A and B are shown apart, each in its own frame.
Chain A
């Protein structure tokens, strides 16, 4: 597709792809992507575990401050993920794993928003409705799926002979 080729040929894409710099080069954005993953999936795991009954003495209201940090992780990954995609748009757009990841991510975000609405509204720390617990289980599985499909993108692109 011409659009993908155009994205890949943008000066910024080429600059990141070809930069050997540990600051602002390709390696740097991979690192940012890993930290963003730790923030989003990591905070996701902790929130889900608490809603499933791990650490009952932690008031649910104290989880509220974690959500802004979750979104910091999300935006870090939106930026770093987009830049990493741009460096090899034609290669990455060809692998189905990318779309699987985006779909799992969208579902995980929907689940997280649902959990957040519950955490924001509840005053009762002890009883967590079964529907919320089910959402928390689904959310955990979805984050694992996002991580797995993310890894698979790298392997699929590599296997097809494009630059990783």
Chain B
């Protein structure tokens, strides 16, 4: 299992991806717009989607890095707090970009080109994400490399824009403790999102596995966003659990396995949304062995997500 120092290394490795990946995705998208290439634009959407997924463990492993620096006197805890808040602010925009990117890939299955609204949303959100993410990364680099910090107060003075107070872990934790219904409401929404997501995943993948054969795959197209809304509900509520009580998750092996299952399932979703063969399946058509294998693995992975989610208090230390 992952040790605390592995997790710090994961943070130091992953933290380059969000900023650089976002810039690459955005660059590809602009190139696609200039060259009027739908393929390039779709490639850019796939990159943005993947970066949104990778940003989740990047953010979460930050808590391990923070823990490892507790009590180290050469490091300013204020700068770490600022880094954490600005990273969360950037993460919100990055995840929104990821949702728009998925939506773009999904809608290009119906229309041959991306609509103006998705294009505008993708450009706006990725620019904002890049700006906020590089701001967060910049503050982060001052934790690791205090020698390059020009003026310690300069970072703190921009925090009003870059890092609102209500995004701090302390604020969210305090809110959860002073409003006992908050946690219960989040958990209830988390269970509802689970059912919506799992239902859509199950039915769409069962079709790929050969059930409901008299339905063309295009019929499931409109159903898929409902599954994504379930996932969005669960990432928002899940992140609020994590941010509020990070220390019951960061070293919890069940949580690591849950995240691993989510990332693999996300890669599966990306491939199946991307893949031409899948969407050309008419009524009565059978999927290729590869697609059937991916469909089966996706159902298993989401059951894995449920399993490790339920095991958080039993394998690990969560309540």
Residues of A at under 8 Å CB distance from B? 22, 27, 30-31, 34-35, 37-39, 41-46, 49-50, 54-59, 61-63, 65-66, 69, 143-144, 147-148, 150-152, 155
Q: Note all chain B residues with C-beta closer than 8 A to A147.
A: 188, 191-192, 195
- Measured CB to CB, the nearest residue on chain A to B191 is A147
Instruction: Tell me if B303 is interfacial: C-beta within 8 Å of chain A.
Output: yes
Whether A42 pairs with B211 at a CB distance below 8 angstroms is no
Instruction: Tell me if B115 is interfacial: C-beta within 8 Å of chain A.
Output: no
Whether B203 pairs with A27 at a CB distance below 8 angstroms is no
Q: Contacts A31-B311, A34-B194, A54-B226 given; indicate if A46 touches B203 (C-beta within 8 A).
A: yes
- Measured CB to CB, the nearest residue on chain A to B225 is A54
Q: Note all chain B residues with C-beta closer than 8 A to A148.
A: 188, 192
Q: Note all chain B residues with C-beta closer than 8 A to A34.
A: 191, 194, 306, 309-310
**Residues of chain B from 192 to 247 with CB closer than 8 A to chain A in the complex:** 192, 194-200, 202-203, 211-216, 218-223, 226
Whether B187 pairs with A58 at a CB distance below 8 angstroms is no
Complex Cα gap A30–B214 (Å): 36
- Measured CB to CB, the nearest residue on chain B to A50 is B223
Complex Cα gap A121–B188 (Å): 35
Complex Cα gap A18–B218 (Å): 49
Would you mind naming 28 contact pairs between A and B with Cβ atoms under 8 Å apart? A22-B315, A27-B311, A27-B313, A27-B314, A34-B194, A34-B310, A35-B303, A37-B191, A38-B306, A42-B195, A42-B197, A42-B198, A42-B199, A43-B203, A45-B195, A46-B223, A49-B223, A54-B222, A55-B222, A55-B223, A56-B219, A57-B218, A57-B219, A58-B215, A58-B219, A147-B188, A151-B184, A151-B187
Whether A58 pairs with B212 at a CB distance below 8 angstroms is yes
Complex Cα gap A27–B312 (Å): 10
Complex Cα gap A123–B226 (Å): 26
Q: Note all chain A residues with C-beta closer than 8 A to B315.
A: 22
Q: Contacts A22-B311, A27-B310, A151-B184 given; indicate if A57 touches B216 (C-beta within 8 A).
A: yes
Q: Contacts A27-B310, A31-B306 given; indicate if A151 touches B219 (C-beta within 8 A).
A: no
Q: Note all chain A residues with C-beta closer than 8 A to B195.
A: 37-38, 41-42, 44-45, 143, 147
Q: Contacts A31-B306, A54-B226 given; indicate if A59 touches B215 (C-beta within 8 A).
A: yes
Main secondary structure of the interface of B (DSSP, over half): helix
Instruction: Tell me if B307 is interfacial: C-beta within 8 Å of chain A.
Output: yes
Q: Note all chain A residues with C-beta closer than 8 A to B197.
A: 42
- Measured CB to CB, the nearest residue on chain A to B217 is A57
Q: Contacts A31-B310, A143-B195, A144-B192 given; indicate if A39 touches B212 (C-beta within 8 A).
A: no
Q: Contacts A55-B220, A56-B219 given; indicate if A46 touches B199 (C-beta within 8 A).
A: yes
Q: Note all chain A residues with C-beta closer than 8 A to B220.
A: 55, 58
Q: Contacts A57-B218, A151-B184, A151-B187 given; indicate if A38 touches B311 (C-beta within 8 A).
A: no
Q: Note all chain B residues with C-beta closer than 8 A to A59.
A: 214-215, 219, 283
Whether A55 pairs with B219 at a CB distance below 8 angstroms is yes
Main secondary structure of the interface of A (DSSP, over half): helix
- A77 CB to closest chain B CB, in angstroms? 12
Whether B199 pairs with A38 at a CB distance below 8 angstroms is yes
Complex Cα gap A43–B214 (Å): 18
- B239 CB to closest chain A CB, in angstroms? 19
- A53 CB to closest chain B CB, in angstroms? 9
Q: Contacts A41-B195, A43-B199, A57-B216 given; indicate if A35 touches B306 (C-beta within 8 A).
A: yes
Q: Note all chain B residues with C-beta closer than 8 A to A54.
A: 222-223, 226
Whether A62 pairs with B196 at a CB distance below 8 angstroms is no
Whether B310 pairs with A65 at a CB distance below 8 angstroms is no
- Measured CB to CB, the nearest residue on chain B to A41 is B195
Contact with A along B274-310 (1 / 0, CB 8 A): 0000000001000000000000000000010011011
Q: Note all chain A residues with C-beta closer than 8 A to B203.
A: 43, 46, 66
**Residues of chain B from 180 to 194 with CB closer than 8 A to chain A in the complex:** 184, 187-188, 191-192, 194
Q: Note all chain A residues with C-beta closer than 8 A to B194.
A: 34, 37-38
Whether A43 pairs with B307 at a CB distance below 8 angstroms is no
Whether A65 pairs with B199 at a CB distance below 8 angstroms is no
Complex Cα gap A35–B194 (Å): 10
Complex Cα gap A132–B309 (Å): 36
Q: Contacts A34-B306, A62-B212 given; indicate if A41 touches B314 (C-beta within 8 A).
A: no
Q: Contacts A42-B196, A42-B198 given; indicate if A55 touches B221 (C-beta within 8 A).
A: yes
Complex Cα gap A148–B303 (Å): 21
